[in-house]
Chains A and B, each alone.
Chain A
């Protein structure tokens, strides 16, 4: 998908797409800027770097004092341990990764399937108290998960969703839905309703008009929204640790956290598992970065 939202819904003459250039006078200033940014980048990236280093160090090097930045023996043992269990079979971590893929994927699909039509409806139709409804929908995101996790735990126990992947999928979808609706509504608003009007006059039903004309134009927006939802579900920790307990159901974040504690902690394994965990999202985000930017600049694109 090489179209950005901007291009796809562009209707008028081409707009000036260059962002306003900030001009800074003087060299000193820019040197200072670069220096500050470098410091910031080092501070921000150090944990990541350290994680990667740890994942390829042997365990005795991990504990070496003073810490060794370079010149340690590189090993891939930890990465092997992430996927292969002590008995030579599949490791618990690898099961957790598969669970993560399933839960994050399914909840994102669900949120998108429900959220996109809802956003379309909110954008196109006169709904009673539309603003209040939208505010209510958004307000469900005001609380962090940890606030509602106990009641949800109790409810899940009643209905038998506790410690099940379906339970996680549902709660993540529910949690992503408000976000999906809000973000998608912005994208739908950008697509002129006249397309659908014209299609309806041409003989299509309202739903056909939506499917055939509006939907294709929404693809970039859907991609952006889905990526955000996916990242949330992938990273989610609080619900996962409260609502699941068995190895066969757990997702990666609580599984990795579970490696810490006990008498000794295999930091190499923790780091390797974390790298494996972070990689898909990084790669994915990189691939769809254009769409992500479209999502972030939502509302900045005016018709």
Chain B
């Protein structure tokens, strides 16, 4: 296992598309590193550059201590799992697993041993003599994972490996991957556009947007203090409420009267937006203490919670996460109260976190 160092990666495709503007990543030995971002932000391209399937236009990639810029994929000693599993359709599971090993020219007994080991780890016993067509999506993905395992590569790259699975199976596989990664102490770069996946899997998450890294941090950091307006609007479901505020009388004041505790060190003269998580707000009875008058626009019952869309006289309606026991009808006059601590504040002109 080895860490991966990506420096000033830039990739422009021959047709002129710039898929990766500038990406710097420092992925630790044994880390499960998640790249998260919307479709088309350059996740796959970055991953393929690390794998050597795509040559970067400029920038350096190091795996362990080796500069791998000019190494073909075969010599980078990396395994990749694809969104579409890329199992060879004409080979049985057993041979699909053995193939990478045969490529290395390992002796037969060693091949057998490693295949058995990977099969045991991914519980493939009964599937060993089937072809990919005879396997379900989840089974195919397990085979694909096992195929990546047998080689004992220096790092694993995974490109949305669970996207084709249904929700339940996806949750199972997520647990499985996390467990496996921990067990093997493997360096793993995991690409996804699913934030739940990113949050639950990643030791650290890199949020990419338009070929740039917007933020790198632990799931908690990324959730608590999104580094930019983009991250704030991307992470969380529903995402943060972005409320335009002004600094006045020692508070952040929004249109409609909502007042928030200002973080220290705010400069007065910029145009600010406060990021408030839906769970940091509360819908109350009208006129409740510290509440501002508001109106319920709509409510979304999700079973274990209710998401209220509330008009508080500000420029945008806000979303509020409430337990299912607190019920208000649509159009009801209510109060809106901020219950969380100091909100994060962004400068509208730079779109970045100011405090």
Contacts and interface: CB of A to CB of B under 8 A. Distances in A.
Interface of A: 8-11, 13-14, 126, 128, 192, 194-195, 197-205, 213, 216-217
Contact of B82 (A8, A198, A200, A203): A198
B74 A205 contact: yes
Contacts of A126: 13-15
A3 B14 CA distance: 37
B84 A194 contact: yes
5 contacts: A11-B84, A128-B14, A202-B100, A205-B72, A216-B90
A197 B99 contact: no
Contacts of B103: 199, 202-204
Interface in B292-351: none
Interface in B62-86: 72-74, 76, 78-80, 82, 84, 86
Given A200-B53, A200-B72, A202-B103, A9 B82 contact: no
Nearest to A200: B73
B99 A194 contact: no
Nearest to A213: B88
B277 interface: no
Q: List the 6 shortest-distance A-B pairs measured between CB atoms, nearest first.
A: A202-B100, A203-B103, A194-B86, A126-B14, A198-B86, A200-B73
B73 A195 contact: no
Contacts of A202: 74, 99-100, 103, 151
A195 B104 CA distance: 17
> Which has the most chain A C-beta neighbours within 10 Å: B79, B86, B90, B137?
B86
B258 interface: no
A205 B79 CA distance: 15
A9 B89 contact: yes
A213 B84 CA distance: 16
Interface string B102-140: 011000000000000000000000000000110001000
A200 B89 contact: no
A9 B133 CA distance: 10
B14 A201 contact: no
Nearest to A13: B137
A197 B51 CA distance: 9
A199 B151 CA distance: 12
Contact of A203 (B51, B53, B89, B104): B104
A197 B86 CA distance: 9
Given A203-B74, A203-B100, A205-B74, A198 B90 contact: no
A13 B138 CA distance: 12
Contacts of A192: 84, 86
B88 A201 contact: no
A11 B87 CA distance: 9
Contacts of A195: 86, 88
